[in-house]
Amino acid sequence: MKAATLEFLRQRFSSYYGKEPLLSPSSIPQREWAFVFFDPDFPDIHMRRHLGFETKSEVFSYIRSMVPAHSYYSTAYYARPGAPTMQEKEWLGADLIFDLDADHIMRGPYDRMLSRVKEETHKLLDMLTMELGFPAQEIDIVFSGGRGYHVHVHDLAVRNWGSSERRELIDYVCGIGLDPGRLLAHRTPSPRGWHHRYIAALHEYLLWLEGLPEKERLAAITGLEGVGRTTAEEFSRRLGEIISLISTDPSSLNMRDAVLSKVIRGLSTQKEGEFATLLRNRAALADEPVTTDTKRLIRLPSSLHGGSGFRVTPLTPKELEDFDPLVDAVVFGEREVRVDLAFPLSMPLLGSSFHLEKGSQKVPEALAVFLCCRGAAEISGGDARAPG
């Protein structure tokens, strides 16, 4: 990144931090802090961490004087957060965190990725509150400023959970390790949960299978692990009967039936394919390593994201539905700035659609910050100056 571009970004971030209120997590003296700065190697990440502060005014003064590109704090609580090694810090517990990142869900235009990851966040919130019993008032949502959302659960009951307990929770959320025998064998009065999601996915898959030409249907069934031609033909012959049972009384399916058991077990081992996709669509696709990590660093709400220039924005569950990151997380204005764009690009921002060609052109300051943070553009001429 050119020096003029670095200076432009640093000035814009400094302007924001100089006038906007900042937020802090609870228990500041027990949190580790970390920052990435606008150094000559930016946007390569060189993190300065193992920092501790006693008060929020100390944190805010540090951010306003140092103007970091990225600001993080630990989800963990430590006796000595500023100690140089993790062992010396003495872990005291950690908030429960879920990270939903559009990169792990789909690839495509940025605005579509943001829309898709919001859907997953809604699913996660429903699971946490309606199925797992976490109080909504103990849950915070934060737009990461980049490609997704962080969901923080502050319930004291989970603070001392280790990685194994958190693994069980994220496995539930993501639908990992489902046992079809258990899910099909038992009725449940609840209209929610993986019992119903699994049966709905299986029913949809079998209807899809029924609609295939016979040759394709048999090929799909014999493609399952442990399923041979004879089993596939018998399953295909009985497919209508099985669909009827699943739609009326799934618990009446006999998983000791060798044909049925082989096919359903074969479906459950698939990582890809039609059925795996149907199950995946019913899960909340959170990032598993983040939830199991009891010493994670997370972005500071109200800080700016050095990869976009967007505000890391805290939200309530009720605010999520109407939240538009490409409007509501944008903090810079429409002053024109000339940039050199490295490639053609189209995207919406601040309620307008931009269709940009490669090369030098003027764009609103908010878009210039975004493009420079992403490494898609450099500042032209003297536009690194702050506005008058």
369 closest CA partner among 312, 328, 331: 331
Q: Domains in the chain, ordered, with CATH?
A: 1-15+331-388 (3.40.5), 21-174+287-327 (3.90.920.10), 180-282 (no CATH)
Q: Of 99, 111, 140, 322, which one is the catalytic site residue?
A: 99
Give the span between the Cα atoms of 354 and 37, in whole angstroms.
29
Digit-by-digit pLDDT tens for the chain (388 residues) are: 899 999 999 999 999 999 999 999 999 999 999 999 998 877 777 899 999 999 999 999 999 999 999 999 999 999 999 999 999 999 999 999 999 999 888 888 999 999 999 999 999 999 999 999 999 889 999 999 999 999 999 889 999 999 999 999 999 999 998 888 888 777 666 667 898 899 999 999 999 999 999 999 999 999 998 899 999 999 999 999 999 988 888 777 777 788 888 998 899 888 888 999 999 999 999 999 999 999 999 999 999 999 999 999 999 888 999 999 999 999 999 999 999 999 999 999 999 999 999 999 999 999 999 999 999 999 987 555 545 4
* Structure token pair of residue 76: 């963990």
- CB-based contact 189:319 (threshold 8 Å): no
Can you tell me which residue has the tokens 């000559």?
A: 40
Q: Please tell me the pTM assigned to this model.
A: 0.89
Instruction: Quickly list DSSP for 323-368.
Output: --HHHHT------EEEEEESS-EEEEETTEEEEE-SEEEEEEHHHH
1 closest CA partner among 46, 39, 35, 47: 39
Can you name the residues that pair with 117 across neighbouring β-strands? none
For this structure, is 383 an active site residue?
A: no
Pairing of strands 47-51, 336-341: unpaired
User: For residue 245, what pLDDT is reported?
Assistant: 86
Q: Of 287, 322, 340, 383, which one is the catalytic site residue?
A: 287
42 closest CA partner among 374, 299, 382: 374
For this structure, is 103 an active site residue?
A: no
For this structure, is 287 an active site residue?
A: yes
Pairing of strands 70-74, 47-51: unpaired
* Structure token pair of residue 141: 């949502």
